[in-house]
Amino acid sequence: MSYTIGDGMVALALAGGIVGYLYLKQLSRHKRMEIVHQERMAAMEKGIPLPEFPFEPAPERRPPDPNVLPIMGTVFFSLSVGAMIVLYLNLPAPSRGDWVFPLPLAFLGVGLIAFHFLQGEPRR
């Protein structure tokens, strides 16, 4: 497989974007720490007691969304059925049997939808 200069440029741009994002994230965290430090120093000079706060707020835990499983199941099922139809209609006659390749994704989608409805959560 031969790669072109364009492929290398895309890889470099992607790596540069990731490194740039991480740098900007670290820079904003550093600036926030500097501001907190300056506020604390000013409060210490004035003799104002400050409570201890964590530098990073703790992420709050949300309960899992019960609609994720049926949505993912519907997406998997519809994409795989569409891919099966396209493969069956567009493949040449000798390889027309390859329409079954997306079938595992269809089963995964049906399984996710069935699991959602068979979970047995009581109704209100």
Mean pLDDT, rounded, for 34-54? 83
pLDDT tens sequence across 59-101? 888 888 888 999 999 999 999 999 999 999 999 988 888 999 9
Q: Is the pLDDT of residue 123 over 60?
A: no
Burial readout 68-105 (b: 16 or more C-beta within 10 A, e: otherwise)? ebbeebeebbeebeebbeebeeeeeeeeeeebeebeeb
| Terminal-residue alpha carbon distance, the chain | 60
Mean pLDDT, rounded, for 26-54? 85
pLDDT tens sequence across 7-22? 999 999 999 999 999 9
Return the top range by mean pLDDT from 21-30, 35-44, 48-57, 60-69: 21-30
